[in-house]
Structure formats: C-alpha cells, structure tokens
Structure 1
Amino acid sequence: MKNLKTSNAVAQLKKDHKLAKFLNKRNAIKTAATDLMVEYGYENTSLEAICERASCSKSAIYEHFGNKQGLLAALTEDVALELSQALHAFYLQERSVEDTLLLYAELALTRILNDKHIAIVRATISSLPQDPQIGPTYYKVGAGTAQAALEQYFSAQIKLGTLILDDPQWAAHEFQGLLFWERLMAQIVGAMASPSETEVKTHARQVVDTFLRRYRVDA
C-alpha cells in the first residue's frame, strides 16, 4: 500500500512538472511575441524571430497556438479573461456597485490602453487582408468576452435592485464605449500616448460617475 502511494505521488509530481513546463513555454512564447510586435509590428514579426526570442522551435508554436494568427488570438484572450475574472472576484467580495465599476474601469484602462495591447490591436487590424477571420476572432475572445462579463454583472445588479436598466446588454456596450472609444481609437492611430496612472484614475472616475448618474437607484 505504501509503495502504491509513493508511486502515485511520483506520477503526480511528474505530471505537475510536465504541466508547469508546458505553461512556462506557452507564456515565454506569448511574451516574446508581444514584445516583438511592440518593437516591429505584426507583419514584421516572424515566427523565426519569436522562436529565437522565446528559445523554442516552430513546432512549439504550432503545438500551443496552431499558427501566428492563433498566437495573436491567445494574446487578446488573456486580457479579456483577466478582466472577466476580476469583475467576478469584485462581485464575490460584495463590493458596492460604485467600487466594483471603479476598480474594473481602472484595471481595464490599464490593461487595454497600454503599449503592448495597442500593438496587438494594430497587429489584428494589419492582418485582416491576409486573414479576414482574425477580426471576428479578436472581437469574440476579446471585447466580446469582457462585454458578456459586464452584461452578467449588470443583470445581477438589476435583481439586487441597485441599478435601473432596461437592457443590461446595451448598458454593457455603453459602459465599454464610455471607457474606450475615443481614447482607444486615438492611441491606435498614434494621436495619443498611453495614459498615466493619474489619467487612468481620473477617466475611470468620470466614466463611473456618468454611468451611475443615469442608472443607479437613489438611496
């Protein structure tokens, strides 16, 4: 019996080590790809350059992501999942609507308007002529995922009686629009730089205050 337990423990350790190695390699590839896209743009970032930076083979990229477009989609998905998970965590912490939206807004602005993510957005746009499906994929795993999380949160707040909303889906669109539309477009075309920490906090506060003036139930 003791030998069986030892054998199972060893097998589990090997399994954990293999998984950790797999995830470390995956993260190394994503980090290398993001850094290169920031430096050189999507079109000028080759798989060979990514392999050299990440110390991996092309077969590793194919194994983890399928191709260069799949790698780009994975980079987008990471940001959206982080935002969705953060919003869910804030909800479970039973924070007020104001605190939750403010924390979410600051995190979203920081993650989406930084230089690395802007490079990913530009990469997606530049790859559309060669791969028209990359656009819908970007939206689905990126903005679509974050949008769905906000919609779910607003639906929960309607049931709790903290917000008056006829359409949580539209409200999620509106909130995202207030956060990103003008600023994101300006950064994509190079008309604005990434916001400072002070600018993030100021803009997040303005957006949340504007949104809650329209939809929060009066105390």
Structure 2
Amino acid sequence: MAATPDTADMEEPTARQQAVLDAVLSLMVEEGDQLTMTAVARRASCSKETLYKWFGDRDGLLAATVRWQAARVRAGRYDRPTLDIGTLRDSLKGFAATWLAVISSPTSIALNRLAIGHAASRKSNLGGIVLENGRFAIGERLRPVLEAGREAGLLAFEDSETAFRSFFGLVGRDVQIRLLLGDSLTLGPDEIARDAARATDQFLTLYGRADTSTNVLSAPEA
C-alpha cells in the first residue's frame, strides 16, 4: 500500500512562481503595507502582466503567497492501513515542529501583522485570505491524520475539529501572540523540537487510547 500524503494533491507552483511568492514574503517584511504589484515584479524580475496571468490580481497573489507559506506545515507521510502509535506520534510531532518554525519566522510575523491590521480597518480581505489559506487549510491538512488515528484505534474523540483545536493550542501556546506583539522570543531548532514533542505527548495523553498510548509515550522533555 502506498504511503498517504498529509494533504490532498495540490498544484505545486513552478520554481519561477515560487521565486515570485518568496519575493512577496520578503517585501512584506521590508515594506509591510506598501506592497504593490510593481514592487513584486521588480523584485522578482518579471513583468506585471506575468503576475496578473499567474495570480489574477493582488488578492490572488496574496492568497497564493499564504498558501505557499502554509504549505511548509506538513504532518509527513504514513501508511494508513498499518498506522501505529509510533508513526502517529512522529506525524503529529513533525506537523507541530514545522508549524512552530513557520509562525516564528519573520515572514509569517510580518504577514500576520499586516492581516490583523487590514481586518481591523477593513482595508482589504487579507485577514480572510490568511484565515482561509492559512489556519483553516492547515486544519484540513491535519484532519486526515487525526481521523486515521481514530480509525486505527489509537485516538478517541468525537469531533476532529475540536481535537485539532486542542492540538493547535498545545503546540502554539502563547508563542504567536507574543511574537506578533514584538516579544524578542527566539525559537531555535532544538527548542522547537522539544516543544513539538511536548505538545504531541500532551495531546496523546488527552486523546490517546490508554491501551496504546501508554506503551510509547515518553515523559515530556524539559
């Protein structure tokens, strides 16, 4: 049986399009609300006509950028019919680690600050774009992993959205709000790995089947 991806097949941006999306993220960090199609075209060394052809308009470009950033958050691959608690734990831990790495990056902080400002002022639909292509899309990406765990008898929950929100809270804690408010919090790879493992063990303590989870869960790392 082939391994199951953590998300449905999605059209991957070409290398050239990825360069454009990375240029958008860089400009958001540098210029914030002053992002324009002209600036993106100049930074990415392409024409505005090409941008409109690929992404439609500014909102389309922003939506693609958010999807590209959120695509870095993955739960890995797993064999659904033979899923065991060790593989489930590794998938959840991998998801947690990539999400923490993404939300603590300067590009995500700049993007989310901009989206919050636009949502408050109703200046644009950037807040809705970030919700739809960021938080909600990430939730849908992890849902199959959680449901596979339930089908395998490893997890016990009634509603996958509620289970996801619990996991999301355990992973994120107060990290994102502190970063958005300017706290000089720094998350290095080792700390991210420890936090991801701790959140995963806490989640499996809450939702793991007692007859399976207690055999593999390690004590939360200090």
Alpha-carbon distance in structure 1 between the residues aligned to 2:24 and 2:161 = 33
1:70-114 per-position Cα deviation (integer Å, ceiling 9, x unaligned): 22211111233343xx32524559452222211111112112321
> How far is 1:161 from its partner?
0.4
Q: Is the 8 A contact 2:150 2:157 kept in 1?
A: yes
CA distance in 2, matches of 1:175, 1:77: 21
Q: Give the structure-2-normalised TM-score.
A: 0.78
Alignment of 1:1-219 (within 5 A): 23-41=14-32, 43-83=33-73, 86-87=74-75, 89-90=77-78, 94=83, 96-128=87-119, 129-218=121-210, 219=212
Give the CA deviation at 1:64.
1.6
Find the aligned partners of 2:134 and 2:185 in 1 and give their Cα distance. Answer: 22
Identity of aligned residues (%): 26
1:12-53 C-alpha deviation (Å, 9 max, x unpaired) = xxxxxxxxxx93432222121111111221x12232222211
- 185-194 or 90-99, which deviates more: 90-99
- Report the Cα distance in structure 1 between the residues aligned to 2:197 and 2:204, rounded to whole angstroms: 11
Q: Per-residue CA shift, 1:137-156, capped at 9, x if unaligned?
A: 22111111111122222122
Q: Greater Rg, structure 1 or structure 2?
A: 1
Change (3 A) 1:127 1:146: same
Given residue 152 of structure 1, which amino acid in structure 2 is its aligned partner? P
Unpaired segments of 5 or more residues in structure 2?
Answer: 1-12, 213-222
Asked if 2 retains the 8 angstrom alpha-carbon contact of 1:183 and 1:192, the reply is no
Partner of 1:9: none
State the 1:194 CA deviation. 4.3
For 1:98 and 1:143, the matched residues in 2 are separated by 21
SS in 2 for 1:96: helix
What is the number of residues matched between the two proteins?
A: 196
| Distance (Å, rounded) in 2 between the aligned partners of 1:175 and 1:91 | 22
2:149 partner letter? Q
Corresponding residue for 1:17?
none
On the 8 A contact 1:151/1:171 being kept in 2, the answer is no
Contact 1:118 1:188 in 2 (8 A): yes
The amino acid of 1:81's aligned partner reads A
Q: Deviations over 1:190-215 (max 9, x none)?
A: 12334111221121122111111111
Relative to structure 1, the CA distance from residue 58 to residue 193 in structure 2 (aligned partners, 3 Å threshold; closer, same or farther) is: farther
Distance 1:23 1:96 in 2: 31
Separation (CA, whole Å) in 1 of partners of 2:15 and 2:91: 32
After TM superposition, the score normalised by the length of structure 1 is 0.79
- Deviation (angstroms), 1:167: 1.7
Q: Distance in 2 between matches of 1:90 and 1:53?
A: 39
